[in-house]
Amino acid sequence: EWTALVFSPCLNNYVGSVTKWKQGRRQASGRTRHLGGNQVHYLRLNIPTSAEVLRGFGTKKSDEEVTCFRDIKPGAPHHYLVVPTKHVGDCKSLNKQHVPLVEKMVETGKKILQKNNVLDLSDVRFGFHWPPFCSVSHLHLHVLAPASQMGLMSSLFYRLNSYWFVTADQLIQHLNSKGEAN
């Protein structure tokens, strides 16, 4: 199964995974195509070599469950995205069973920060955009550090206690209170 990750040149950002392609299609992993003015990078997910496939995206860490790479429009000196390798919808589609995945995403974010000599985890922001304020329908954790060095626009986009951004801790608390229903 192939997933197309779309990067918009006008937004200069990852704007989503637009479609899934059957393995029989003639798209190769790591290839770039253009679709409506957007660059489309075809990646084969759910394979052990996803780190090699994502090398062009500045992949920092990858395993069978999650992949971490730099945001191409960083909101802080260190801005990474941690995404599940298997498709998971946005925050609203999650339930209590997804708590271990969210925790794994946070742990991966912490490891990548430590690997990049960010040791003060008190000045870090881990969070998700809350629908409908997310441009991507694939779960992705924003890891930003140091949060005190975010610019004005980033401070708004990744604002604590807002309608559009929730911290990883808030999401985990929400999922635990939600129970198995969903």
Q: What is the mean pLDDT of the chain?
A: 74
Q: What pLDDT, on the 0 to 100 scale, is given for residue 107?
A: 95
**Block residue for tokens 């920060």:** 113
At residue 167, the pLDDT reads 96
What pTM did the predictor assign?
Answer: 0.68
pLDDT digits (tens, 9 = 90+) for 107-146: 999 999 999 999 899 999 999 999 888 877 889 999 999 9
- Residue 132, judged by CB atoms within 10 A of its CB (0-12, 13-18, 19+), counts as exposed
Give the domain ranges of the chain: 2-178
Query: What is the Cα gyration radius of the chain?
Result: 16
CATH classification code of 2-178: 3.30.428.10
Cis check: omega of the bond before 132, within 30 degrees of 0: yes
87 is catalytic: no
5 phi/psi in degrees, rounded to 5:
-100, 130
pLDDT band at 179 (very low <50, low <70, confident <90, very high): low
d(CA 155, CA 26): 42
Tell me which of 79, 98, 129, 140 is the catalytic residue. 140
pLDDT of 121: 92
d(CA 45, CA 19): 12
Chain segment 154-167, per-residue pLDDT in tens: 998 999 989 899 99
In this prediction, residue 24 has a pLDDT band, given cuts at 50, 70 and 90, of very low
